[in-house]
Amino acid sequence: MDASSSVSHAAHDHHDTAHEHHELGFFRKYVFSTDHKVIGLQYLITGLIFLFLGFCLMMLMRWQLAYPGKELPVIGNLIGRMLGPGSMNNGVMTPEFYNSLGAMHGTIMIFLGIVPVAFAAFGNFVVPLQIGAPDMTFPKVNMASYQAFFVGGMIMLISFFVPGGAAKGGWTSYTPLADIADKGPGYDVIFNGQTLWLIGFILLITSSLLGAINFIATIIQLRAKGMTWMRLPFFVWAQFVTAFLLLLAFPPLESAIVMQLMDRVAGTSFFLPTGLVVNGTAVSISGGGSPLLWQHLFWFLGHPEVYVLILPGMGIVAEVIANNTRKPLWGYKSLVLAALVLGFLSFIVWAHHMWLTGMGTAVSAFFQTTTMIISIPSVIILSAFFISLWGGSIRFTVPMLFATAFLPMFGIGGLTGIPLAFNSADLYLHDTYYVIAHFHYIVAPGTIFAVFAGIYYWFPKATGRKMNDFWGKVHFWPSLICMNAIFLPMFLQGMLGMHRRWYDGGEGWTLASEKVWGLSGFHWNLPISIAAWTMGVAQIPFIINFFWSIRHGQKVGINPWEATTLEWTAPSPPPHGNFLTPPVAYRGPYEYSLPGRAKDFTMQTEPVEPNERAPHEPAMSLSH
Amino acid sequence: MEIPYTVTARPDTGLWNAKVGIWLFLASEVMLFGGLFSAYIFLRLDAEPGYWPHGLLNVPVGTGNTAILIASSVTVVLAWAALKMRQFTRYKIYMGITILCGVAFLVVKLAYEWPQKFEHFGAYIKPSALEKYEPYLGNKHLLSEGLPPRVEITGHLHNHEALHDASIKDYEVGLDPIYTDPTNPKMDRPHFLYVPPTEKIAHIDKADVDRATMFLPTHNTYFATYFTITGLHGLHVLGGVIVFTYLWLPFGSRLYRQNPEHLANRVEVAGLFWHFVDLVWIFVFPLFYLL
């Protein structure tokens, strides 16, 4: 039976009936929608805008690093006029504004960019389709989740415009600094950068909590008939584990944020130690609090958050690789198990972010050990992807280009993390550009490339049209080169001792370091900045391609990539309720190149034929 | 396609959707309060000897509130059982009692317990001046018993204006019983029954005081944690009451007529949340009132 043609026939019938039944107004359909696909796209568009905005903040910082204290032409004065002289004084960046940009770059990129796009957008759009569900279990909760995210994001943005500007305490908001920042004369009690950061954060946490509950409940309850756990695509597994991380790791941070809010607004001393002196005067507080408590609660979220950022990316890459190598994903069971172990272990490694706090050797030994162990599942996942490429007749489509690039980039990011896991090596590398390079290799050319792969891959499902291939490649190659040109030199800068929060880019430090090593990383600042700005330009083809293709892209059928999973049996774009008849899964997710078949892909909905061997999970041998 | 398993259970998981949802939500709630309780442990272990107060809360009132919450957890189950047996009037009665219990808990908390704290006063004595206030503190006795020292004098503040007026040089405090007879263990905290401040007045020189405020969140980390955790818990009680009231009002009757099982499910889910709120209180009560 040819599943694809029968489904597309039915699609037409359904479209006609759908029009008769419910004609939703613009607001109900696109703004206050409860449809998981619309919410997914809302998340995608909003998240991409925030990603670009976060990148713009970084491009501004790169000016200050490349040309410390020099006037930024045109834009500098514009920003100065918009945000006041406290930001760009006569076009020259103030240290406070630099700190705001740094803190907000981190916050926006992680919590308003990557998480909404990689987790919420793809999860919302793809997961129900892949498991054969009509929608998420709780559509209204889903809508509330997006709205909480949106309002939280707006509060973060508004904080740029309040007196004193946005939060300056770094994305980690370490106390006691963050407790006492943006306070005093000239600052509002509520409408100041740090307090708005906290309030915005509570909304973002609420949003991901609602999202996480929805995802897990959907995957448990709404799998189609025959969609057993080991027939789930790896992407669904990745989202499942991610949702658990968000569900359980975010609330302790929420409690910490409530406490910091109490410290700032009600005058408590949760994170303020006894005898705290600020600017030479003792602060009138009860004291008795612990700055370390904040760090523990923050990193209890902070480390699982790393896997929240990378796991959805891994899921996307798994789908794209299986589809474009035309063979089953190698080691499906190991991948699933590795993702589960990764999720569990990510809860007991957090203190490796705190080596400098002097926790003592026993605690350090424990967290070094767990940190070493967590590299095992990561390596399993990456190895399985690499081996999947082996012997495949690879189609280098645009999504596959991004997915292939993900592998070495994530590899570099992961391997350079190992020195940081040891507390002796970290004492030296802590808070240097080495750390910056390490985690950006994971998140930027790692997750963001996976996100691009996912956008190019599922775009035909969302719109019925393909994005342009040529411009996709024009987007890919410069992005890949620029990513490396930005982050590779940072390893060198970091190993030469350049601190990540220096507002002058290490101008003052460079003399000393030249004396000590005869070297300085300072001269790398300009090339890195040029690469960053070039990468900004390199995103223009993507932006144009994305919006142009929605209306003018090449029209394609419901399964343009000849993929096997359930979302490709639904019409493109899928109607409300997704499937015309409830789908049934008869086999595993990656049945490519089954021997003795006319086509090189067998969809999950195709029943097992009598002469076929028993429905099997993806093979685990190399010789496929 | 419609969303399945909204009311009836999925055969292989044995659960309807909302039940999965509420258990996941409760898991995250455990982590939320877990974060706050771990802060309590962290701060308490970090506190200097004598700086973590004991027995400042009203134990009988707390016990009463505990009883109210536990009773409401029973009545909400009875309300659910009544719905399962399709006895709508009984459901209305039991749910009404549950709502009343929730409201009573909040009233006791907000109209009695918190204000009583706001009217209580404490002054931390500078270490150098502890000797001067020995007749109130009895630290020599405590030292010989191997107990942590007292560093704070608490009671009823007679001259409230002293808090703001720099020209007033001392605090006039109607002492709590223990400071009138500091070596007598019978006078020491915690008392099971609430003992009001005595008429015996102590004058505490402002120059001898590190920090003196009413029992507000700013007073010390104990009260900071107390007000934050009970405040957040109170918000949860309020949330529960609102949901119960929604299910109790005409909306409940309408849903009952359409699909009684659906209403029973909703009550079950709301009840699970209510039990959790109850459980949090079971931790709050000993941590703050008894230990």
pLDDT for position A13: 42
Q: What are B213's strand-pairing partners?
A: B122
Q: Which of B5, B29, B107 is nearest to B276 (CA)?
A: B29
Which residue in B has a C-alpha nearest to residue A270's C-alpha?
B221
Express each pLDDT in A572-585 by its tens digit.
999 999 999 999 99
Most confident of A15-19, A487-491, B249-253: A487-491
Q: Are B188 and B253 part of one and the same domain?
A: no
The pLDDT of residue A16 is above 80: no
Express each pLDDT in A529-556 by its tens digit.
999 999 999 999 999 999 999 999 999 9
pLDDT for position A518: 67
**Residue with structure tokens 């809860």?**
A347
Using a CB-CB cut-off of 8 Å, the residues of chain B touching A288 are 43, 46-48, 51, 220-221
Q: Are B109 and B232 part of one and the same domain?
A: yes
Report the share of chain B in percent with pLDDT over 90. Answer: 83
The pLDDT of residue B146 is above 50: yes
pLDDT for position A78: 93
The pLDDT of residue A17 is above 70: no
Q: What letter would DSSP give residue A601?
A: B
Question: Residue B242's pLDDT band (boundaries 50, 70, 90)?
Answer: very high
Q: Are B102 and B132 part of one and the same domain?
A: no
Whether residue A100 contacts residue A165, with contact meaning beta carbons closer than 8 Å, is answered with yes
Q: Is residue B99 part of a domain?
A: yes
- pLDDT, mean over chain A: 91
Whether residue B284 contacts residue B233, with contact meaning beta carbons closer than 8 Å, is answered with yes
How far apart are alpha carbons A374 and A348 in whole angstroms?
A: 9
Q: Which among B162, B189, B214 is the end of a domain?
A: B214
The pLDDT of residue B137 is above 80: yes
- A547: its two tokens: 């919006």
pLDDT for position A619: 46
Express each pLDDT in B151-194 by its tens digit.
999 999 999 999 999 899 999 999 998 899 888 877 777 777 77
Q: Domains in chain A, ordered, with CATH?
A: 36-272+284-569 (1.20.210.10)
Q: What is the mean pLDDT of residues B52-58?
A: 90
pLDDT for position A522: 77
Using a CB-CB cut-off of 8 Å, the residues of chain B touching A296 are 38, 42
Q: Are B238 and B282 part of one and the same domain?
A: yes
Q: Are B207 and B286 part of one and the same domain?
A: no
Lowest mean pLDDT among A216-225, B15-24, B41-50, B228-237: B41-50
Q: Is residue B12 part of a domain?
A: no
Using a CB-CB cut-off of 8 Å, the residues of chain A touching B217 are 262, 266-268
The pLDDT of residue B204 is above 90: yes
Domain CATH for B40: 1.20.120.80
Q: Which of A421, A434, A436 is nearest to A353 (CA)?
A: A421
Q: Are B127 and B94 part of one and the same domain?
A: no
pLDDT for position A29: 82
Q: Is residue B188 part of a domain?
A: yes
Whether residue A406 contacts residue A311, with contact meaning beta carbons closer than 8 Å, is answered with no
**In a 3-state reduction of DSSP, which class is residue A607?**
coil
Q: Which of A323, A119, A144, A325 is nearest to A216 (CA)?
A: A119
Express each pLDDT in A50-104 by its tens digit.
999 999 999 999 999 999 989 999 999 999 999 988 899 989 999 999 999 999 9
Q: Are B159 and B271 part of one and the same domain?
A: no
Q: Is residue B101 part of a domain?
A: yes
Express each pLDDT in A181-220 by its tens digit.
999 888 999 999 999 999 999 999 999 999 999 999 999 9
pLDDT for position A114: 96
Q: Are B108 and B231 part of one and the same domain?
A: yes
Q: Is residue B2 part of a domain?
A: no
Whether residue B264 contacts residue B17, with contact meaning beta carbons closer than 8 Å, is answered with no
Q: Are B194 and B255 part of one and the same domain?
A: no
Express each pLDDT in B274-284 by its tens digit.
999 999 999 99
The pLDDT of residue A159 is above 80: yes
| Contact state of A255 with B36 under an 8 Å Cβ cutoff | yes
Q: Which among B163, B183, B214 is the end of a domain?
A: B214
Q: What is the mean pLDDT of residues A214-232?
A: 96
Torsion of CA A243, A244, A247, A252, to 10 degrees: -130
Report the share of chain A in percent with pLDDT over 90. Answer: 81
Q: Is residue B163 part of a domain?
A: yes
The pLDDT of residue A614 is above 60: no
Stretch 241-300 of chain A: residues touching chain B, C-beta under 8 Å: 247-256, 258-259, 262, 266-270, 274, 285-286, 288-290, 293, 296-297, 300
pLDDT for position A338: 97
Q: Which among B181, B214, B247 is the end of a domain?
A: B214
Q: Are B71 and B136 part of one and the same domain?
A: no
Domain count, chain B: 2
Lowest mean pLDDT among A66-80, A90-104, A147-161, A507-521: A507-521
pLDDT for position A622: 46
Q: ipTM of the assembly?
A: 0.95
How far apart are alpha carbons A106 and A353 in whole angstroms?
A: 16
Question: How many angstroms separate the first and last alpha carbons of chain B?
Answer: 56
Facing B5 at nearest CB: one of A221, A289, A300 = A221
Q: Are B36 and B101 part of one and the same domain?
A: yes
Q: Is residue B14 part of a domain?
A: no
Q: Is residue B278 part of a domain?
A: yes
Q: Are B210 and B85 part of one and the same domain?
A: no
Q: What letter would DSSP give residue A178?
A: H
pLDDT for position A624: 42
Half-sphere exposure of A241 (CA within 13 A, CB side): 30
Question: Residue A434's pLDDT band (boundaries 50, 70, 90)?
Answer: very high
Q: Looking only at Cα atoms, what is the longest distance across chain B? A: 80
Q: Which residue segment(s) compose the domain that B35 sits in? A: 23-118+220-290
